[in-house]
Structures are given as structure tokens and as C-alpha cells.
Chain A
Amino acid sequence: GQQLNQSPQSMFIQEGEDVSMNCTSSSIFNTWLWYKQDPGEGPVLLIALYKAGELTSNGRLTAQFGITRKDSFLNISASIPSDVGIYFCAGQNQGGKLIFGQGTELSVKP
């Protein structure tokens, strides 16, 4: 079945640093989504990407839909303590089903 490889699994960074994480797949997706999940809560949508090559920003967050439609990355600039959490990529196939990556756990040291 379709699988996503998300890396890195965890990151420990200093406040103010930039962060980059990515997802790759052997399958093509029509949509790439990035979510953030805080402990005990459901994932919250950060950015949605609908076209190959699309580059979209949401404040300090920037994400891109890979040209091959098999990958996506998320960058966070000038990290702050509230960026702490688990970030998930998700690919949506033609049938609408979401396939999630394993998550990147981000820790930010003040």
C-alpha cells in the first residue's frame, strides 16, 4: 500500500533557528497536507498544497509540493517555543483517503 517516509523523526533546536522536515513516497499524491499536533489534541491543519511545484506560506511556515508529486517539505523560520509539537505530513490520493507520515517531534529550547 501507499506509505510516506517522514524525516527527521525528532529535532532538538534552539529558539530562533530554522527548521526543515520532509516527506517522500513511492506513490503519487494529488494533495499534500501538513498538520501539527499538540499533546492530547487532534492534528491542526497548517498548510494544504494542491498542485505540483506549489510553494505556499503561512506566517513563518513554508511548504512545497514536489514536482514529481511524490514529496513535500515544510520549513519553519525563526522557531519559537510554541512551535513545539509533532508535525505530520499527509498525502491525499485520488480516492480522498489520507496517508500520514510517522511524524516529526520538534523540541525548541528557549
Chain B
Amino acid sequence: KAGVTQTPRYLIKTRGQQVTLSCSPISGHRSVSWYQQTPGQGLQFLFEYFSETQRNKGNFPGRFSGRQFSNSRSEMNVSTLELGDSALYLCASSSGQTADTQYFGPGTRLTVL
């Protein structure tokens, strides 16, 4: 089975712009979770989508949003980018059953200038 794929791998934006990141889960997986990883804050949960609905949400501002399509692919959008949004954004997929293991993609490295 192919693993979790994320595109693009690297992205450079300027403050005030918006960005969309994409994640394709492992075939058959219906849950996609998004995480932000920074040196200072570590890995922090953004949100989880299951069957095209947001099922869990972390403590991030409304500038961070996401969606999931009928094929389980997910996108994450960040609007009005700030310097502090520079991070590695990781998505993880699972079957969606409670406590099922999450498998991570390679991440998208976002740099905001």
C-alpha cells in the first residue's frame, strides 16, 4: 500500500498571503488529522476530518481551516499568514475507528517571510 502523501513538500510565502496544503491518506483510510510542528511548541494537533466532517479540533485560530473530500483526500488552508506560521505541517491518516493507529506523511515545510 502507498503511504500518506503530502504536497507540496516545501513552500515559501509572505505575510498576509494564504496557503493550501494537500494530503492523500493511505488507501482505505477515512480519517485525516493535521498537526503543526515547530521547534518551540513541538507537535500540536490542528484538526481531524472523518467522512468529510470535522470530528476533532485543536486550539488554533480560525485562520486555520480544513476540509475533506469524498475520496478522503484532505486540504488545509491558512489565511492571512503570519511569521509564526512557519512550521512543518504533518498529516496523519487512520481507519477512523477510535484508538486506531495514525500513520504520518512526510510533511510540508512552510516558510513565511
Task: Answer whether A42 and B107 are a contact pair too, CB < 8 Å, given A96-B56, A97-B48, A97-B56.
Answer: yes
Mark interface residues in B75-113 (1 if CB within 8 Å of A CB, else 0).
000000000000000101000001111111111010000
CB distance from B95 to the nearest CB of A (A): 11
Which chain A positions have C-beta within 8 A of B101?
33, 45, 48
A-B interface pairs (CB < 8 A), number: 59
Q: How large is the interface on A (under 10, 10 to 19, 20 to 34, 35 or more residues)?
A: 20 to 34
CB distance from A96 to the nearest CB of B (A): 5
Q: Is A98 an interface residue (CB 8 A)?
A: yes
Q: Is A30 an interface residue (CB 8 A)?
A: yes
Q: Is A59 an interface residue (CB 8 A)?
A: no
Give the complex CA separation of A44 and B98 in angstroms: 20
Q: Is A100 an interface residue (CB 8 A)?
A: yes
Mark interface residues in A41-78 (1 if CB within 8 Å of B CB, else 0).
11111001010000000000000000000000000000
CB distance from A35 to the nearest CB of B (A): 7
How many chain-B residues does the 8 Å CB contact rule pick out?
27
CB distance from A50 to the nearest CB of B (A): 7
- Across the interface, B99 reaches (CB within 8 A) one of A1, A31, A40, A41, namely A31
Mark interface residues in A81-105 (1 if CB within 8 Å of B CB, else 0).
0000000101010111111111100
Q: Is B42 an interface residue (CB 8 A)?
A: yes
Task: Answer whether A45 and B103 are a contact pair too, CB < 8 Å, given A98-B33, A99-B45.
Answer: yes
A-B contact pairs, 13 of them (CB 8 A): A41-B107, A42-B4, A42-B106, A45-B104, A96-B100, A97-B45, A97-B56, A97-B58, A98-B33, A98-B92, A100-B35, A100-B42, A100-B43
Q: Please give the residue numbers on chain A whose beta carbons come within 8 Å of chain B beta carbons, in ascending order.
A: 1, 30-31, 33, 35, 40-45, 48, 50, 88, 90, 92, 94-103
Q: Please give the residue numbers on chain B whose beta carbons come within 8 Å of chain A beta carbons, in ascending order.
A: 4, 6, 31, 33, 35, 42-45, 48, 55-56, 58-59, 90, 92, 98-107, 109
